[in-house]
Amino acid sequence: MILTLAFRNLFHDRIRLAVTLVGILFSIVLVAIQLGMYLGSSRMITSMIERSNSDLWITAFGAKSFEEGGILLTSRERHQALATPGVKAVVPLVVAFAEWRKPEGGSTRVVLVGTDAEDGALEPWSLVSGTWQDIKSPDAISADDTYFRELGINGIGDTAQIAMGRVKVKALTHRIRSFTQSPYVFTTLSRARSLLGAESDKATFYLVQLEPGANLETVRHELLTRLDGAEVLTKNEFEDRSLRQWLFRTGAGLALIGGALLGILVGTVIVAQTLYSSTKDHLNEFATLRALGSSSGYIYKVILAQAGLSAVIGYVLGILISLGILYISRNTPLPLVMTPGLAGALFGLTLFMSAVSAISAIIKVTRIDPATVFNR
Amino acid sequence: MTKPVLECENVVKELGKGAGKVRALKGVNLSLVKGELTLLMGPSGSGKTTLLSILGCILTPTSGTIRVEGEEVAGKGPEELAELRRKHIGFIFQSYNLFPTLSALENVRIALDVIGRKGYQAALRAEEVLREVGLGNRLKNYPSNLSGGEQQRVAVARAIAASPSVVLADEPTAALDSENGHAVMALLARIAKEQNRSVLAVTHDPRTLGYADRVVRIEDGLIVGEERRPQGLDAPEITDLTKRRKANA
């Protein structure tokens, strides 16, 4: 009967129900978008590190992120790393921001990634046109089809200039997006060095692959003792560092989290307001229940059931709208991400928000004087 | 002598604070026994409803003793008082106090739900009491689709569903026309007699006198008179009414 009464109380006033649902829905959509952007951003920031086939990353001391590592490491560090017990391979990678001059004039910034795919540490994934062999051909690069407009190109065969040299688009990747909005452009290691004017033994990172059975911590410790002026990070550590740099030092992540908190706050206030007014309208019925001998707990359950029902209905509607927005965003430079974990967390958050909203109503009910039933 | 199911001794109730303090009850003694319909009559402001609230464990007295089925009420908190109400007392209110969003059957079921009787058995019991009060054909109707008399009968069914030993009714006929008023009083008299419950009805409706086994008069917070009426349900006017109702039906 608790659920029946809660359901009837809720649906008795359809307009108020609609206001409650809009409150929850607004909150869910806002939080889903903000956290979806946060997750999407996180994935973009860590995608290169995540996709790499490496156990450890050697970076110049203080490298802030994948894009901002500098081209400071030399072959000396590589040889020292290769001589370390437990190390199977040390693969150089060159990464740097560079100026991209569009074919029709104007310029933008790109992140140039120089890698030798044959080394098996990092290669452009999701190639939709062309192959790695095409990228190895003279002046060749791969660009991502999401950024054609920014790069001023239309597809394979277009030419542009990166920093010091002319390049030709020979392969296309699909949806390898960049958080910095500077598109990733892949080319070979030596061509990247040449375009960036770096010496032929220089690298931004060394990707370390371990021998089977080697202990990661032992190897890391050994590497640290051998390498001066360099850091040795696990993939997770480097991902965290990149996330910290782009999401928190730039304030972008705080803005997203702030937006999500605002959504939660607004949703809670709207739901609390409508639950309170619903409880106030049904106060005489709650007083009657109390006079009939119901415990306070019984009445609280009715109010919480009302809150819970609002939460479930609001959540279902909110998540459907959020999924629609997610679908629309899939081809934009900043796609939103929804994971089962996030969907579950949002549901938990909605229930929590509704339960918190019920507090004011419960306080109101706590003060009911059952004697009022005789005054009507 | 029959053991009282509900009794109060020297009950005093003060309402308000400071200069506005009013002594609503000034030392009331009253005992209710099973099988009797007692009317509590008195003018407005005499303390009828205050006494009913105290007897129903809704208000606590300033001083004096209340015993429900021999159990002392003094010192009990709101939850314990609610438990006493759940176990022993049924209420009927002047303005019915039905849940507008629930059907007649559900209005009775919720009283059972409150005492922990749920599911199919509770539904059967609710249907049974609604049939007892003559509403077997109105189970699914909502209060807005019932007449005042029918709504009050739903309230009576709700009050007796959990088989309380005491039923307390606050002006049960005040909002009803003559015929419905008589029907509800006859029902209360039957509940007292046939179900062996104690029924106390607060009223100032003289039409109800014929149904009472006992009439207690209260004025200015004091019991000023009490009379026994031996006829009860067998009173000639009730027999006539029952015959008339049967003929109409």
CATH code of the domain in which B148 resides: 3.40.50.300
Structural domain harbouring B68: 6-211+223-248
Over residues B175-229, the pLDDT tens digits come to: 778 888 888 888 888 888 888 889 999 988 888 888 888 899 999 889 888 888 7
CB distance from A8 to chain B under 8 Å?
yes
* Contacts B114 to A, Cβ<8 Å: 289, 292-294, 298
Q: How many angstroms separate the CA atoms of A349 and A263, rounded? A: 11
Is residue B1 within a helix (H) or strand (E), and if so which, with residue range?
A: none
> What is the count of residue pairs from A and B with beta carbons less than 8 Å apart?
78
CB distance from B15 to chain A under 8 Å?
no
3-state secondary structure A208-270: EEECCCCCHHHHHHHHHHHCCCEEEEEHHHHHHHHHHHHHHHCCHHHHHHHHHHHHHHHHHHH
Helix (H, G, I), strand (E, B) or coil at B150: helix
Percent helix / strand / coil, chain A, rounded to 5: 55, 20, 25
Q: How long, in residues, is chain A?
A: 376
Q: What is the ipTM of this complex?
A: 0.84
pLDDT mean over B13-22: 84
CB pair distance less than 8 Å for A293 and B97: no
Query: ∠ at Cα A298 (A292, A301), nearest 5°?
Result: 145
Q: Is residue B65 part of a domain?
A: yes
Over residues A13-38, the pLDDT tens digits come to: 788 788 878 877 888 888 888 888 88
pLDDT level of residue B234 (50, 70, 90 thresholds): low
Q: How many angstroms separate the CA atoms of B19 and B23, rounded? A: 12
CB distance from B160 to chain A under 8 Å?
no
Over residues A130-157, the pLDDT tens digits come to: 998 999 999 999 999 988 888 999 989 9
In this prediction, residue A203 carries a pLDDT of: 92
Q: Are the beta carbons of B180 and B152 closer than 8 angstroms?
A: yes
A358 or A56: which leads in pLDDT:
A56
Whether the predicted pLDDT of B12 surpasses 80: yes
List of residues 6+ apart from B244 with CB closer than 8 A: none
Q: How many angstroms separate the CA atoms of A47 and A337, rounded? A: 13
pLDDT level of residue B231 (50, 70, 90 thresholds): low
Domain count, chain B: 1
CB pair distance less than 8 Å for B83 and A293: yes
pLDDT level of residue B237 (50, 70, 90 thresholds): low
Place of tokens 């009967």: A1
Token pair recorded at residue B191: 């509940």
Backbone angles phi, psi at A354, to 5 degrees: -70, -40
Q: Is residue B34 part of a domain?
A: yes
Whether the predicted pLDDT of A126 surpasses 70: yes
Helix (H, G, I), strand (E, B) or coil at A165: strand
Q: Is residue B167 part of a domain?
A: yes
Q: Are the beta carbons of A205 and A93 closer than 8 angstroms?
A: yes
